[in-house]
Structure 1
Amino acid sequence: MEKSPNFSTTFSTNGLLAQLVFSYQLSAISYQLSVISYQLSVISYQLSAISYQLSVISYQLSGISYQLSAIS
Structure 2
Amino acid sequence: MLSDLARRIEDKSAVVSVIGLGYVGLPVACMFAQAGFQTWGVDVAAERIAMLNAGKNPIEGKEPGLAE
Q: Which has the larger radius of gyration?
A: 1
Q: Which TM-score band (shorter chain)?
A: under 0.3
Q: TM-score, normalised by structure 1?
A: 0.21
From the two aligned structures, give the one with the greater strand fraction: 2
Q: TM-score, normalised by structure 2?
A: 0.22
From the two aligned structures, give the one with the greater helix fraction: 1
Higher relative contact order (CA 8 A, sep 6+): 2
